[in-house]
Chain A
């Protein structure tokens, strides 16, 4: 069943002949008596975020011992940083990436993000799950293609470049590594600042840009037309944001990362403070429904960055620990790898904390979110693609049970993103291609 795109807006008007509308944070007072829909009976929509970390996990430390729900299971050593959020956590273990690993850190992330094999040139061959969900629930926001952020900007062996969000082949949404930059953008949309008269000038310039691009389209082949269409989407998105700025309702003020986390490290470096800064900003953007879709790259596929803050030195995490090549020996490397995975999870925990502490409708943002967490490989030193790291956090507005460890014996990992796609109301009967193709969801996830 396809869900209608909700048009929940609390502020409408005409400014300079342009219809403008911007949502306010959704709070209990705006909802119907049951807290399940807005007063005008538009249904509430959960928010979606892909949270990605490179270099996989060690299943012996990652997979919880017991399966089941609630008290039946306990979090594993690698997942200890998430213990506080166990009520919202669904661990899916035993799933396997069925797509042939033409390239270890590339085929697997392409499979769990898009359901399809990677292209030979390091690209994907299908859109990623966040973009499929964005098409369902995000078109009426200020960021129709979502907000995409990243912690580490260090590359990793050519695997999908830096990206985890793809609108189509050759159409990535590269992460923004600068909390200060995202803060500045969100601040203008928050209504906390006076709209600047120069906004109308920017709009007239963008109108000219769009005219030029449209005029050029007729001379282009299909692929170039698609690329220029994407450029035009970007122009339209910017126009929407300018309109939203002009009419911005008071959504409060996002937390300024330069004030809250002055020692967070350079853009592109890994630190928990950088995770906190983006967590604040994403919670703000989701709360105000400036976007309902986002992605968060802690580290890219096969990431070569060092995990210095975790006490793992200034060496590449991928080689010294992921492949256990540390000159300190294999025991040190194995221990360091486990430390690094738990460190990544502590970065995720910061996001969960902000979401849990942000009121939303009758509960909090974590109640109303879906956070899909995965990686580029299973156990990395053998480049395994079975027992893949797959987590879902949040309860999707009550649709997900949470507090679950569900284990299968080698089921297709594509079922996880497909289950999420169906959760957001997609009418599509299947997801993925070839060995990654599935048409079944995971019923155990549902409440």
Chain B
């Protein structure tokens, strides 16, 4: 599985229409039905064809959209990353065994987590991983004193046991335990404590149980009906604490956030804003942004990315690791350290390297070799995300570049355009075309048939002209003057704007009118665990507006998202909402 699967709606439509076409906008509904997707058909000789620029939001026109059944709030299993961070917050540093892998849906693990069931074998994996982790953590009395607010010395110290389980339980479940629940875990601790003659062993088993409960393993954020808000569901203060923490920190709430929830301070806008501002200033916000970026750019796939080792011996595990570190360092720099316009990432020339990566970028090596910020030379055609070694290498084949994959990254991840997969029973082998003229060709020449054949051109005209801009960078991201001795033509057009090379394309991308909306859509999908419905368009436009007003500061986009009404309210499942109906839904 590579990046997202958001393009399959397009594939369906392509198949139904039987025509070469490409579609854009993440407009599939959560139930898989079609949103108001606009087909932009590009056929025949389409070298002049402009890639579509309108979004679903722009193209609603006057057509009345059919009412949509709204999916209600759903349980979300903690992603592997949320699980790891939460376990470490609760137990301190522990080695965690594998739990059942995340499922990627619509481009995000966050979406898979809201839909896919855990397998029976996955339940056993949790039992084992959590059992091993609690055994590690409870082996050290000093650690136990940090994990539990009160450590009893004997089984008769029920007050202390109760206090220990109540506080641990509140943190783990992101809400206080009920009386019945607390007695249940106290019972486990007492029974096993007396069996083993060790009250701490008893508590360790109660903790093992608390962490296997669905209230820990799933985000139980279901909301409660709110008569004051048109029958919508309002998330409780505790649910808001959980939503804020997983969205902003990628882990569970801290005690301060739970205290705010206990005082019911998260049931209105100002209370949420105050906590969100505090949380964004906390170092854990970096962890939250890392995870969004890792999901957005599909960094998980780097691990399995292979290069032909006879041609690219430089492709080492350490190079892969520093490429990933660099991408995250660029984001942290722009979001937190400067902080600056997020889209300066798209065309900036500040990079982060060690000597191994400096060699890829053609920069000076230094002694001692440290991970450091560096500036690309002025006038360098390497600019922005699309010039980063990670993006170039991730979106290439083992032995050579791929204009199609690189173009797809730009189209899907930065511009939210959907690129369908190739239709069935087409020969995707470019080299078959070479039989009549076996001489070397540039990738642009090899891809020519794809831009000309009607069954290929609709989509390849979206991806390839963008990807070909990066042909001066080889499959591991190094600059090359030519391709097998042949001159590289890296010029092209993005929506009618000419660019001479990848550097100019990067500048056009930064200025592109779609990038802000696209970023807001991606964040909305990630935070909500589902693709936006057409009716969410207004919300996305509003948080995009906040982003623009704030000079494109990403932390302000996060703040706008979590303080928006849509983050605090949801519709009951199955509510049918007309497109222009924002309040007073009819269940």
* A234 interface contact, C-beta 8 A: yes
Contact flag A121-B8 (CB < 8 Å), given A174-B101, A235-B123, A382-B425: yes
Q: How far is the CB of A384 from chain B (nearest CB, A)?
A: 6
A120 close to B213 (CB less than 8 A): no
In the assembled complex, the Cα of A315 lies from the Cα of B312 at a distance in Å of 11
A234 close to B1 (CB less than 8 A): no
Contact flag A320-B398 (CB < 8 Å), given A208-B185, A208-B213: yes
In the assembled complex, the Cα of A107 lies from the Cα of B11 at a distance in Å of 12
**Looking at the complex, which one of A148, A158, A237, A385 makes contact with B123 (CB distance below 8 Å)?**
A237
* B2 interface contact, C-beta 8 A: yes
Q: In chain B, residues 191-249, which have Cβ atoms closer than 8 Å to a Cβ of chain A?
A: 191-192, 195, 205, 208-209, 212-215, 220, 222
Contact flag A314-B118 (CB < 8 Å), given A155-B2, A325-B397, A330-B429: no
B397 close to A212 (CB less than 8 A): no
Segment at the interface with A among B159-167, B266-274, B303-311: B303-311
A174 close to B121 (CB less than 8 A): yes
In the assembled complex, the Cα of A237 lies from the Cα of B124 at a distance in Å of 9
* B158 interface contact, C-beta 8 A: no
A223 close to B74 (CB less than 8 A): yes
In the assembled complex, the Cα of A188 lies from the Cα of B376 at a distance in Å of 59
**Looking at the complex, which one of B103, B121, B222, B422 makes contact with A176 (CB distance below 8 Å)?**
B121
Contact flag A102-B308 (CB < 8 Å), given A161-B103, A208-B185: no
* B61 interface contact, C-beta 8 A: no
Contact flag A234-B213 (CB < 8 Å), given A120-B28, A122-B5, A172-B119: no
* A32 interface contact, C-beta 8 A: no
Size bin of chain B's contact surface? 35 or more
Chain A minimum-CB-distance residue to B103:
A161
Chain A minimum-CB-distance residue to B33:
A120
B191 close to A381 (CB less than 8 A): no
- Which residues of B are found within 8 Å of A148, using beta-carbon distances? 119, 121
Segment at the interface with B among A213-221, A277-285, A438-446: A213-221
B5 close to A121 (CB less than 8 A): yes
Q: In chain A, residues 194-221, which have Cβ atoms closer than 8 Å to a Cβ of chain B?
A: 201-202, 204-206, 208-209, 211-213, 216, 219-221
* A119 interface contact, C-beta 8 A: yes
- Which residues of B are found within 8 Å of A423, using beta-carbon distances? none
* A140 interface contact, C-beta 8 A: no
**Looking at the complex, which one of A121, A168, A329 makes contact with B32 (CB distance below 8 Å)?**
A121
Contact with B along A148-186 (1 / 0, CB 8 A): 100000111111011000011011111010100000010
Contact flag A157-B1 (CB < 8 Å), given A228-B214, A327-B399: yes
**Looking at the complex, which one of A102, A159, A327 makes contact with B15 (CB distance below 8 Å)?**
A102
* A12 interface contact, C-beta 8 A: no
Q: How far is the CB of A345 from chain B (nearest CB, A)?
A: 23
In the assembled complex, the Cα of A119 lies from the Cα of B103 at a distance in Å of 14
* A324 interface contact, C-beta 8 A: yes
Contact with A along B89-122 (1 / 0, CB 8 A): 0000000001011011110000000011111111
Binding site for B on A (CB under 8 A): 100-104, 107, 119-123, 143-145, 148, 154-159, 161-162, 167-168, 170-174, 176, 178, 185, 201-202, 204-206, 208-209, 211-213, 216, 219-221, 223-224, 226-228, 230-231, 233-235, 237-238, 241, 304-306, 313-316, 319-320, 323-327, 329-330, 381-385
Q: Can you sample 12 A-B contacts with CB below 8 Å?
A: A104-B421, A120-B28, A121-B106, A158-B2, A221-B573, A227-B75, A227-B116, A227-B118, A234-B120, A305-B304, A315-B398, A329-B431
- Since A202-B127, A314-B398 are in contact, a sample of 9 more A-B pairs with Cβ atoms closer than 8 Å, ordered by chain A residue number, is A104-B422, A122-B5, A208-B188, A216-B215, A237-B124, A316-B306, A320-B398, A325-B431, A382-B426
